Structure 1
Amino acid sequence: MISNPRVLGNVRLSILKDDTTSPEKQRAAVEHWAAGPAIDGRIAGWAEELDVSGAMHPFKRPGLGPWFNERADEWDVLAVWKLDRLSRKAGHFAEVFDWCQRHGKVIVSVTEGIDMSTPMGKMFAQIIAAFAEGELDTIRARALSGSAARKAKGVWIGGVEPFGYRFERQEGGGKKLVQDPTYAELFGEIVERLKGDWSSYRIAVDLNQRGIPTWRDHLRILKDEESRGVAWTANAIRAIVMNPTVAGIYTYKGENVVDENGEHVRITDEPLMEFAEWSELVAVLKSDRPVRRSTPSRSMLGGVAICQACGARMSSNKKTKPSGRVHHYYSCNNVNTGTCPNPGRVRRDDLDTAVGSFVKVTLGPLPVMERAGNSISQAKTELAEAEGTLDRLEADYLAGRFKTDVQVERYWGQHEFQSAKVERLREDIKTAEDTPAWKETGRTYLEEWSTKDDEQKRVFLQRHGVTVAVGNTEDGSRRVVVRMPELAEIAEQTGLHVPEGYMWTEPEAEYILPKQRAYKRK
């Protein structure tokens, strides 16, 4: 092992739902290993990839790929929780291992105790990688076998009921999944709130205050078992909404299962949400991942405002005077590290008022516009998958891998199905590209703003791309610049009429706030 290595931690999860392999647990395991006296390394960076399949090539993954292609000189050891976090394909694993060998890098699995700088570690790694690929390859076979039984009997043969569904006994035996009326309605409420600028944290707090049992406790109550009183959490809310089962899609160990034609296998004829609508919502939530906090927000602009001097986020803090009076303020997150040349600091009330004035006065009577949806990006993703399936089918056919009459018959069936899917998706994308990218909500910015609390205002600002930069003037006053670049795009694409006098091409407002007078009062 390299002495005092620079460690690149890789965290991967197919879907954010399994507590035993949560990103936090993976991070903690890698950090514990790197900090151990036998290693004495330091974390050089993280390649975190949530909702990324183990079948995707590591070189092409959004988080890990750049560390191979562009930042190879910044790390020595690639540390993973388990080898299947790196890849579930033996071929992909072999390519990564070969690359690391040629570039003087080491792969380590911290929980399996595999150090690939040793001969024994290399041997075990290759064996485990082969098993990981075997497990991935059996996912479809196992699930499709169960799927065939469900389709034949119209029953569910899985495990515990997914969120929002309950078992309904069939006359011929077996169980079918149908909507649970109470929690199907609750799911709809959660979705509408997420769309309406509620954070997952606030939703969890509200459900706990209302005394609504979690899904597992609800199932226990239905079985006349004692409730465990488990509380709702922000992560639980996100995991429920982002789980494909709410859209009626069958999953196996976090992987979406597809049939022999490449279509998603269904678990019910009555999903809580249609797949297209669910895909759009998930796309929004993924884009909001750095935005929507899982912890309580103490302010309207915490994490929104940035320090103009260094570009760091600003957080809400407080200072208690000897008299007991408490002053709240925003300050640059780098103020304690000494890395900011001129850290920004401003009274919270002053900055909140300035931003509120921008929304109410500068934007006030203008209509709030929202993007028409993310269906086009979903269609493009499905199109790429369908075209890739066609390419693989044709390559296998030309290579002579379909030998029997049955195999050839299935090949032409799959080819016809995927070809029709490609044509349909191309037409859907063309139609979507010809429709407006923005739609009116029927409300003005002033109307929207007046109905929200501080947490909802924070989410609203971030959703609409409003930026708040705080700097210092020569005389010690605070200079605040508020911008909304999104407006220029809306005007250009929709031709929306803007009242005369609005700075539409460069929508921004500048405010000069007084010095820190609050700290001088007695």
Structure 2
Amino acid sequence: MKKLTGNRQRLHPADVQWRDTDLALLQELIAAEASLPSDAPRALLSVRLSTLTVETTSPVRQELDLRRLARERGYRVVGVARDLNVSATRVPPWRRRELGHWLNDRVPEFDVLLFWKLDRLVRRLTDLSTMIEWCLAHGKNLISNHDTVDLTSPTGKVMAEIIGGIAEIEASAISTRVTSLWDYTRTQSDWLVGKPPYGYTIDDRGRLVIDPQEQRVLRWCLGAALRGVSARRMTTVLIRARVPTGGGGQWSAGTLLRRLRNPALMGFRVSESKDGGARRSVTVLGADGNPIRVGDPIVTEAEWLSLQAVLDERSKSQPVRRKGGATQFLGVLVCADCGTHMTAHRSRGKVRTYEYLRCRRCPSGGLGAPDPQSVYSRLAGEVMSVLGAEPVRVREYAPGADGRDRRRTVENTIADYMTGLEPGGWYSRTPFTRRRAEQSLERLITELQGLDPDTAQDRWLQTSSGGTFRERWEQADGETMAGDLRRAGITCSVSRHRLPGVRAPEVGLKLIIPADARERLVIKRDAFSD
């Protein structure tokens, strides 16, 4: 078994195993494309799998079957969009990592989208309808290897919608079964399915038991919290001690607080609640109105209540986050010293609430930057003066079908006239018909010479909206400017310098504009936004 490598056959980060026989067939299919004409239709292959395991061969089988289909139909394969571990129910085609990149940014590079089965592409009828509309608007075709789907015929369109409806019904049935299973397990004292909460593991008999190492971590955090140690300080200690998080990644204060606030520490079954936008675990009650116990407790109920009181007391210093987000120009403002993003923070004193910008790595936030609103205003003013006069340009997709059809028509007509003007031809019978045919032929040759070769190619065009970015930013909110700056890769370096006898530091701003910023400012409309 081998892993397929190379730029031409780039893999999804998940490992996919290829056997030697599969690799030989792959090379044979790729070599067969050399005999195709230069104007052969270009095919993009879509390979998708909801759950990837070490044993699965589905991605390999899908790709080889689609390459065989492309060879049978005379298509040249220009790319493979591999989206593995991706649910078609949750993620539509235009939002997937690889296929979405092709559909949004590489449209001119392919003519037809090949997929193994319709449920490999979509599992919602609305998503299928959107894809059909998009293909018709952009001159593309959808072809399935196992279903009668081909948008070049009315029957193929109808069959696509029928099969898509069946796929949606199947996905709905699966969702209902999964939901029913979870509803049932929440009422049971045994641990049947799902990942155990931090501090617990599953033994050989499928029972929920305490994990000794994770129990020690939680007990240490309990004691530290009761002594007044902050969650951020505990997180730093855990990271330095290289304590595993139990789920991959690195410890964070938010992750630690969620685990310390989880009633599962008392051995109770819990479910996730997102009331108010905050993720919290709440206790599941049984039919008798009491919490359902699924394991031995790591902390007693009295300890858990004391812990919550301490955490609540510390959390009172942080005001409620603003509805629109605490930080404007997030991703644009960066620290001049450590290079991390500047974020807005608020702390409540005895008299007033203080707002300031701080970075992540500098000690104490790099002195902070007081009065974030003044920083935002200065940044907006500098951006307006430098880029406000730039015209707003929009990227539009221009299919080359019309140009190709016109060129083909002119070339065929010229060939007919040249045949008719040969000795014995239709136009050579009388001087009048010869003269008129030669005049028409001359006009057609002139038209053919004047046809722009680019109009026969699918391409992106940049059109002006008639306004400037100053007008665009003045008519919209600050997030519109921030989004444009992030798209163009424009950042603003924030420096802070302490002045003698002045408590607040002096804040300096330096706008950093990449050389290709004006090209990246071009607005790319989302064809799937509706």
- The two structures have a TM-score, normalised by structure 1, of 0.33
- The two structures have a TM-score, normalised by structure 2, of 0.33
Give 1 or 2 for the bigger CA radius of gyration: 2
